[in-house]
Structure 1
Amino acid sequence: MPRQQTPGGVERYRVRSTAAAFTSLTALAAMSLVAGPAVAQQRGPGPCALERTSAHHSLGLDTWNGAYPKPLRTLDAVMVFLSFPDAAPAVSPQALTADYFPATSDFFARASYGKFHLVPHPQQRWIRMPKPSTAYGIKRDWEARDRAAYLRDAVAAADPVVDFSRYDIVYFVADPNAPGVDSDATKVVNFDRPLRADGSDLRRIVTVFERHPPDRNVLAHETGHVFDLPDLYHRPSDGKGDWDTYVGDWDVMGSQFGMAPDLFAWQKWKLGWLGPGQVDCVQHGSTLHTLQPVGQPSPTGAIGGTRLAVVRTGPGSAVAVEARGAAGNDDETCSEGVLVYKVRNEAASGGGPVEVLDGHPDTEACWDRSVYPPLADAPLQAGEAYTVPGEGIRIEVADRTPSGAYTVKITT
């Protein structure tokens, strides 16, 4: 994940995007949301579920990539703490464990509506690497040779005391104070050919090089990659400029610093946390939808209401509509309402598979906290409407119910 080094963990933006000229927003003083006679609405995946493609971390969800564990059960994660000959650790494994847990487990428990439990198994002592930290060339864009050497040494050093066959996820946590450790290098490493340990294939390892204390939600972001979720941020070609123009604060896979970091409903659908009864597939005509906010907990034993409405716009694209409110992982949001975004199944991780559409292109919000204020007020409020540029899809928000849900009319 990119680091945004400002006192509040965010950068400030003073320029509005020229894309504002291409949006259509109408404030509706009074709205009548009566569905027309041609209502074509299907519940469940149906025709709006984009196909999974060969793109890295494709957001197609008609099938699951079996190379990744699906987070619909309890998964066990081992945390291995690595020290180096050129530094004496200044913090304990127990202190570093507390940096990440229970916060990361709690994030996924809320995001999954209790359908997924991440159980950490931290080692209680440091494991010594054979070479100094400076010998591995640790950095964000790591040389493959140096990275491979680091991982081989780490697996070999840990193998005598860790039974890798017992775990679904592996976190290698480096001593944050070692001189060769670069906090910008935290990432998930996927192997073309799995490493073998304790009779098991290690297909990917989360390499953690964070400071102490670490960036907020950083391990939730990296763990999302373990479940085949893509990076949703935009990485400028020169490494400079805005990283958060695609989705702003609205998903932890876009920014670990986001005010509303819960996963998009589309991502929850992909992971199996939303079922057929919680997704409305919209085809033609005008349809009414009652959308519960994504972060609102589901009542025990209940289906939890509709969380997502989808309009397929092409073989590999769709427009998604969901509600966001100050609940669950989104409890620190500064803007509530109906969020509209585009999804593309052929866009690879980091290539813009999701693009939030700005419902208020002439304004921005939350300068003191947002990672990208132009999108901080993107959601539509009751009494507002938005027409998706180039698609002829109109989203109208009538009201908000006492339960916090939004009544929405979608016309295609």
Structure 2
Amino acid sequence: MPRAQQPPEVDRYVLRRVAAVATSLSAVIATSVVAGPATASEGALPCALARTDTHHSEGLDTWNGAYPRPARTLRAVMVFLSFPDSEPVADPGELAADYFPATSRFFERASYGRFTLRPDVQRRWVRMPQTSSTYGIRRDWDADRRAAYLRDAVAAADGSVDFSRYDVVYLVADPDAAGVDSDATKVVNLDQPLQADDADLRRFVTVFEQSPPDRNVLAHETGHIFDLPDLYHRPRDGKGDWDTYVGDWDLMGSQFGLAPDPFGWHKWKVGWLGDRQVTCVSLARDQHGTVHTLRPLSAPMEPGGGRRARLLVVRTGPRSALAIEARGAVGNDHEVCTEGVLVYRVRSETASGSGPVEVLDGHPGTEACWGTSVFPQLADAPLGEGESMDDAEDGVRVQVYGRSSSGDWTVKVGRSG
């Protein structure tokens, strides 16, 4: 179990948690998609884990061509669906404002301006042929009813929407219809596409949110379209914490998190960080450790991309690595209540929803951000100045020496023991 050693002058205290945060129960699971052809990836460094056949594998040496890579402008259409059993109360334009421009701005910040999500909002209701209850909408949706819903939605909207123009389709159901379950929002990635306007439609986000919706829910679902996995833990019996793997860190764990900016590993995977911003740390070459300067992950990117590392990676096995990055209260993480150097484990053979990423707790005896964090036990996971962590599983020690006036962190990585 990783532990942190603090200087004597640091006040150590435990924040008691009086109630579990239940909001993460609306997290969703994406439907599988058949693996597509591999395309070249910037993740060619020796510490880049190889992509496996696991659903939403965290391997990034190649890109899965079944998914659009968000390294360019992608166009999305948002279609609003009504049902014969309910007359809509809300206006489509008002519902659209729940999602845009906030979602596009989230990705603009996360990608350092390298990716633009451009929505085309259809500002009228499209009537579905069946009542809302006919489709059996719920979290664990019957596959046949879900397929019928998608077919009917595409057919109903086809007269007013040219689907061939879009990379992403958002289908937003009337939130006031009786058969709409707000817990059912999810991505559907099809191995057998629907056909419309001479185009193959493989990726849909079916939105069943109330207004206002869950925070960052559309950004979370859109992340699945970019081959990013669910990072939360779903209890088998439906009881217990959902956020034990990553807590507030990365919206693919919880869209409610205080630090929803994607992990540096994910930014590397999709192409927002290049090899120049990643440093592979080889413990075999230096038993005593090496010292590195780490730029905060969410800091604005320097002109030309910059060469200062934003991600340190220690390869720990054929399918595993430790990732080290600095997180601070800026950009998408502006609500975070603890800053510092975050360490997490990545496994490329672990499937979406089963813990492909696990944050290592730098302060396992304390909690933080009580009342706002989705999982206070990991809210204070980052290491501060003068602190260190020993990861017994891989024999790695991470030491934080300090922080410069420009905000960069000085970190030493070596062998523990």
TM-score (norm 2): 0.89
| Inter-partner Cα distance in structure 1 for 2:160 and 2:246 | 42
1:187-214 CA-to-partner distances (Å, cap 9, x unmatched) read 0011121111111101121100000110
> Counterpart of 2:61?
62
Query: Structure 1 vs Structure 2: percent identity of aligned residues?
Result: 67
The one-letter code of the counterpart of 2:379 is A
1:287 and 2:286 equivalent? no
| Inter-partner Cα distance in structure 2 for 1:44 and 1:307 | 14
Tell me, what secondary structure is at the counterpart of 2:150?
Answer: helix
| Inter-partner Cα distance in structure 2 for 1:47 and 1:304 | 18
CA drift of 1:302 comes to 4.1
CA drift of 1:322 comes to 0.4
| Inter-partner Cα distance in structure 2 for 1:100 and 1:263 | 18
* Corresponding pairs, count: 379
CA drift of 1:168 comes to 0.6
Match for residue 358 of structure 2 among 355, 358, 369: 355
| Inter-partner Cα distance in structure 1 for 2:220 and 2:362 | 26
1:373 and 2:376 equivalent? yes
The one-letter code of the counterpart of 1:26 is Q
The one-letter code of the counterpart of 1:333 is V
| Inter-partner Cα distance in structure 2 for 1:390 and 1:80 | 48
> Counterpart of 2:340?
337
In the superposition, relative to structure 1, how do residues 61 and 385 fare at CA in structure 2: closer, same or farther (>3 Å)? same
1:217 and 2:196 equivalent? no
> Counterpart of 1:73?
72
CA drift of 1:251 comes to 0.5
CA RMSD of aligned residues (A): 1.3
> Counterpart of 1:260?
259
| Inter-partner Cα distance in structure 2 for 1:103 and 1:289 | 35
> Counterpart of 2:30?
none
1:411 and 2:396 equivalent? no
In the superposition, relative to structure 1, how do residues 44 and 137 fare at CA in structure 2: closer, same or farther (>3 Å)? closer
The one-letter code of the counterpart of 1:368 is G
> Counterpart of 2:17?
none
| Inter-partner Cα distance in structure 2 for 1:388 and 1:182 | 42
Q: Unpaired segments of 5 or more residues in structure 2?
A: 10-41
Contact 1:45 1:279 in 2 (8 A): no
Equivalent residues in 2 for 1:171-320 (5 A)?
171-284=170-283, 285=286, 286-303=289-306, 305-320=308-323
> Counterpart of 1:385?
388
CA drift of 1:301 comes to 3.4
Tell me, what secondary structure is at the counterpart of 1:194?
Answer: strand
> Counterpart of 1:24?
3
CA drift of 1:46 comes to 2.0
The one-letter code of the counterpart of 1:343 is V
CA drift of 1:27 comes to 2.0
The one-letter code of the counterpart of 1:326 is A
Tell me, what secondary structure is at the counterpart of 2:64?
Answer: coil
| Inter-partner Cα distance in structure 2 for 1:145 and 1:249 | 35
Contact 2:232 2:252 in 1 (8 A): yes
> Counterpart of 2:327?
324
In the superposition, relative to structure 1, how do residues 239 and 395 fare at CA in structure 2: closer, same or farther (>3 Å)? same
> Counterpart of 1:395?
398
The one-letter code of the counterpart of 1:325 is G
Q: Unpaired segments of 5 or more residues in structure 1?
A: 1-21, 31-42
| Inter-partner Cα distance in structure 2 for 1:299 and 1:86 | 54
| Inter-partner Cα distance in structure 2 for 1:336 and 1:272 | 25
> Counterpart of 2:168?
169
Contact 1:78 1:123 in 2 (8 A): yes
| Inter-partner Cα distance in structure 2 for 1:358 and 1:24 | 7
TM-score (norm 1): 0.90
> Counterpart of 1:37?
none
The one-letter code of the counterpart of 1:402 is S
Tell me, what secondary structure is at the counterpart of 1:79?
Answer: strand
The one-letter code of the counterpart of 1:306 is A
| Inter-partner Cα distance in structure 2 for 1:80 and 1:298 | 34
Tell me, what secondary structure is at the counterpart of 2:49?
Answer: coil
| Inter-partner Cα distance in structure 2 for 1:213 and 1:239 | 25
The one-letter code of the counterpart of 2:408 is A
| Inter-partner Cα distance in structure 2 for 1:282 and 1:148 | 47
Tell me, what secondary structure is at the counterpart of 1:301?
Answer: helix
